[in-house]
Amino acid sequence: MSVAPMMDWTDRHCRYFHRLLSRHALLYTEMVTSGALLHGDVARHLQFNPQEHPVALQLGGSEPTDLAHCAALGAQWGYDEINLNCGCPSERVQRGAFGACLMAEPQLVADCVKAMVDVVSVPVTVKHRIGIDKTESYEFVRDFVGQVSEAGCSTFIVHARNAWLKGLSPKENRELPPLRYEMVHRLKRDFPQLTIVINGGITTHAQVAEQLEELDGVMLGREAYHNPWWLATWDEAFYGAAASDLSRERVEEQMVDYMTAEASQHGTSWYAIARHMLGLRHGLPGARRWRQVWSDHRLKTLPARQVWQLAQEAVSATA
């Protein structure tokens, strides 16, 4: 089980929150471009809390030498996996000549993977789509996986939709191209030696279990983010862990401790952290009022513990 890399969402605060819910799920960073690491603040992009392990760094880029340098940085900072983004369809990413458009250049992707594999000892993986634009040929994705695997990649995370590079927004690209899970299952049959993980449209325990009968792993994105308490069931359901006595209240308390430490050590506002846990009480009485408190920008100047108290009072008032 893994939580997908999601721009503007899976930052280090989000990952810390998710790790409180599942000890075993693999967590991914937001995509970090090679340019950001080569020319920007490396610490700002790569800093993470040791409690986040296992955690993977997703890179965006298409220059083998640059990616090798960035992969080495990721390994030095302690990431457990380096992942190359070959699935993002946004026009901004395309202008940088990486993301989903790289699927049209499997040899370049293979060169990028080889360059990274040569400089790190952690796994180098690839996240991609099943095709681009209206190309719906299985042979297209089969040949892509085959060629890239020969460069040293043994794990492929496959979003089971095409990426339409023109005419659709990133949001539409997550919803409109049809899901074709059978394409991913076929990849596993053709490449049994590879680790094949599926992503896209999976929102229930039953769907996860069904996919795990065919494949090696399942990656969840927006459903995991908006309904995070689901993660608290994963360790028992999918890793054979003992039943957890974790409660939403205890997780919230731990997040308040984290917010307090972040404010003290880095000057981070609780407001930047709390946004990631707004789904924690999804479906419970008082959840709406609780969310309103934790997302009230007028309270930003208050300490996190005081806001927590207000949130508790809001829940009690609706009981």
* Residues with active-site annotation: 88
Measured on CA atoms in the order 75, 79, 82, 87, is the torsion positive or negative?
A: negative
Termini Cα distance of the chain: 35
Residues 6+ apart with CB under 8 A from 305: 256, 260
Q: Where are the alpha helices (DSSP H) in 25-88?
A: 34-39, 42-46, 64-77
Check if the beta carbon of residue 319 is closer than 8 Å to that of residue 286.
Answer: yes
Burial of 67 (0-12, 13-18, 19+ CB in 10 A): buried
How is 271-301 classified by DSSP, letter by letter? HHHHGGGTTTTTTSTTHHHHHHHHT-GGGTT
CA-to-CA separations, 127 to 95, 138, 142, 227, 302, in angstroms, rounded: 19, 17, 14, 23, 41
Measured on CA atoms in the order 11, 14, 20, 23, is the torsion positive or negative?
A: negative
Sequence letter at residue 232: A
Radius of gyration of the chain (CA): 20
Residues 6+ apart with CB under 8 A from 189: none
